[in-house]
Structure 1
C-alpha cells in the first residue's frame, strides 16, 4: 500500500515538472510562429507597394505624355499646348538661365510631361532630354525649380572579330558591330595604318567596353586591347598608364602615337584665334576662321609639325595666298597659309619629316600683314590647333616594362583565345549548313 502511494506521488510530481519545463518552450514556439507570419505579411505588403520612378519622379500619380521637339518648336510653343501661362513660361525661362539655356532646345530631342490627374490635366513636371545621358527637369509646383539629372549608366564588355572586304566601316556593319567603333580605332592606329590603303582580307580583333543607358548604347568606346592585321602584319594596341597618362603601345612597348610640334614657327604673338564667327579685317564682315594666326616677320621659317606627305602646294588669290597642305596620316592634315614663298623642293608627293622647313611667313592672299594662318583637320573637320592633344611618344620605361608585359600577355591571350572560339563556331555553322 505504501509502495502504491509513492508511485502516485512521483507520477504527480513528474506531471507538474513536465508542465513547468515544456510550457514555456511551446509558448515560445507559438510566439515565433506568430512573429514569422507577421514578417511575411510585412514583406508582402512592401512588395505590393513598390513605386516606379521615371527621371527620379514617382510616376504612379501622374498622366505621362511623351513627345519630340518638332521643326521650329521651342519651350514656349510646347508648354502653351498644355495651357501654361505666358507669365509662367517667362518665369521658367528666367530661372533656367544659370542652369539651362531654353533657346538650345533642338529639333528631334525627346521631352516628357507629368500631368496631374485632375480635370485640367495641369502640368506638374516637364523633362527635356539634352542627350542620351542628361535631362533637364522643370518642376512647376509653386516656384519653378529647375535642375539637371543623369540617367544610370551600365557598361558592357564586348569582343569583336572583324574581317574586312572593302573598308572598316562596312565591315563593322556586316559584323553587326557599331560602325562608330571604326572612328575610335582609326584614332588609335592613326600613325601605324593607312586606313585608305586597307586591303581585302585585313582584319581586326578588339576587346572594348561600351556604355548603355536604358539598354541603348552610347557611342563611347573604351578599347582595352586590339590586334589589327594589315597586309599580313599584326599591329598591337595595348593601353597602359605611364606618367599619369594613358596611351596605346605596340607589343614591344613603343607608343603608337607620335607627338606634334607645339607650333610650326617661332612667332611673336597669336594675332587671331580659332573661331566660328570672326570679324575679317579685310572683308569687313563676320565669317568662320578655322585656324590660328601667328604674327611673325616676313621670311620667318615655317616648319611641318609632324612627318607626312605634301598633298597640295598652290595659290589662293582671295584667301590663303601661297599655301601648303600636308597629310600626316589617315586622320590628321595640316595647312600653312599666306606664305611669302615655298621652301626648295616642296612639291605634291614629297615626304617631309617633323621640323622640315616647308615655306616662309608672308602676307599673300587676303592678309593685312605678315603672319601664318595655321590650320589642322581631323578626319576632314577643322579643329582648334591650340587645343589639339599631342600625347608623348616615349616608350614604356624600364621600370614599368615588367608590369606592361604582364598586362600585354594577358590581353593578347584573351584576344587570341576569343578568335579561336569564333573560328570554331564559324566552322561548326558551315558544317551544319
Structure 2
C-alpha cells in the first residue's frame, strides 16, 4: 500500500469556486467582552486564554475526576454554593452541568492574593467548544469556540487489504476512511475490495491547538473498484449538499451497500450451508458480517420497524419494511439502538442496533437478510435504485464544479 499526501496550494479562483458552490462561510466566533479589564502598559502586550486576560491570574488546570463535579472544584477555590447555584440555574439553557464528562480538562483563573479565589473556570466540553464560568464582577456562563485551522490535502493509494487498514498503516486520521466510506457507501462494496483497487481524495484536514481533529470537507474523490472508476463531485442542490458522479447522477441510492462499516464477510448467501451449531445442511438466506460486539448496525434505507424482539435462533433481531417491495432483517444483535421499537420510523444510516452473538451463534457477527416481495434475495446482488440526479436547471453550475474537481484529481496521477 502506498499513500502520498501533499498540501495543495490552490489558486484564488479554485478556492472561490469551491467555497461558493459547496458551503457558506462560517460566521466568525463571538468575541468575549466580559473579561478582566486590568490596565496594561504600552510596552507589554496582554496575554489571553479563552478570551480571558490570563496574565492577571494564577492558572490551575486539571481533569474532571470520575463522578466529580465542577461545584467541588469551585468550592475549594473560594466560590460560594450560592454563587454556583445562581450560575447553574440562570444559565441552564446555555450549559447543563449534568453533561460534564469525567476526564475533560478544566482551567481555573485565580486571584493573586492570599485567598486565591477563582474568578473564572473554563470547562473544555469537546475539542472545539469550551464554557466559561464567570464569578467576577458578574456571574454568567458563556460558550467559547477555539480557533479552528485547516489545510487542504491530497491522498491517493492502492488497496492491499482494506481501506481501513491502508489508512491506519499510513497514520492517516480514521475520519478520512469514514468520510470516504460514507460517500461511496451506495456504490462501492467495501467488504469486496480487492488488491489493486485505487482511490484519490482531496480533502480538508481540521486542526485545533495544533492537533488534528481529522478530515473535514471532502472536495472531490475517486474510487476504482473492480475496474470501474467512480468520481464523487460535491454539489449543493435545493439547499442540501450531496455527491454526484460525472454524469450528474447521485451517488446515494435507496439502500446502502452494507449495514456495517469496516468488518468482513464471514459467510455468504447460500441455498445449502452447513450450520455451524446444528451441524446440518440448511439454507442460509443472508450474509454474515463478522465484527466486534457493540459495532453499530445501520438501517440500509428509510422504513418502518415491524419487529424488534428476540426470536429463537435469530436472537435479538430487527425487521424493517422499506416499502411495498423490500424489507430487511438484522439478526444476533447485542442490543437495540435508541428508540428502536415496533412501529418506529427510521432513516437510512440510523443506528438500529449493535453487533452481538445472541441466539444460535458461534461468535459476534451480524446476519443480514434482504427480502423482495417477501422472498429472500442475495443482499450482495441487489441493484438499488438511485435518488434524484442533478436537475436540468442546475446542470450548468454543476459542470463548473465538475471541471474543477476532475482537473484537480487528474493532476495527481
The TM-score range, normalised by the shorter chain, is 0.5 to 0.7
- Relative contact order (alpha carbons < 8 A, sep ≥ 6): 1 or 2 greater? 2
Q: Is 1:356 matched up with 2:325? A: yes
Q: Which residue of 1 aligns with 2:143?
A: 148
Residues 235 and 250 in structure 1, CA contact (< 8 A), matched pair in contact too: yes
State the 1:243 CA deviation.
Answer: 3.0
Of 394, 402, 406 in structure 2, the residue corresponding to residue 408 of structure 1 is: 402
Q: Cα–Cα, structure 1 residues 161 and 139, in superposed 2: closer, same or farther, change >3 Å?
A: same
Q: 2:51 matched to which residue of 1?
A: 56
SS in 2 for 1:217: strand
2:327 corresponds to 1:333: no
TM-score under structure 2 length normalisation: 0.60
User: Would you say the 8 A contact 1:162–1:172 is kept in 2?
Assistant: no
Asked if structure 2 preserves the Cα contact closer than 8 Å seen for 1:375 and 1:382, the reply is no
- Is residue 2:152 matched to residue 1:157? yes
How many pairs does the alignment contain? 282
Structure 1 residues 113 and 226, CA gap change in structure 2 (3 angstroms): same
2:344 and 2:112 map into 1 onto residues whose CA distance is 62
Matching residue of 1:89: 84
1:206 aligns with 2:198: no
Distance in 1 of aligned mates of 2:49 and 2:349:
39
Partner of 1:129: 124
Distance in 2 (CA, whole Å) between partners of 1:400 and 1:374 is 32
Say yes or no: does 1:227 pair with 2:198: no
The verdict on how the C-alpha distance between 1:215 and 1:102 changes in structure 2, with shifts beyond 3 A counting, is same
5+ long unaligned stretches in structure 1: 1-44, 261-308, 312-323, 340-351, 360-370, 384-391, 420-433
Contact 2:221 2:409 in 1 (8 A): yes
Cα contact 2:149–2:207 (8 A) shared by 1: yes
Match of 1:291 in 2: none
Shift of residue 225, structure 1, vs aligned partner: 0.3
Counterpart of 1:320 in structure 2 is none
Identify, as 1 or 2, the structure richer in helix: 1
In structure 2, distance between residues paired with 1:56 and 1:126: 12
Q: Give the SS at the match of 2:218.
A: strand
Using structure 1 for the length normalisation, give the TM-score.
Answer: 0.58
Higher Cα Rg, which structure: 1
Question: Aligned partners of 2:91 and 2:322: how far apart in 1?
Answer: 52
Larger mean CA deviation between 215-224 and 72-81 belongs to 215-224
From the superposition, tell whether residues 310 and 398 of structure 1 become closer, same or farther in structure 2 (CA, over 3 Å): farther
RMSD: 3.4
Q: Measure the CA separation in 1 of the matches of 2:86 and 2:327.
A: 58
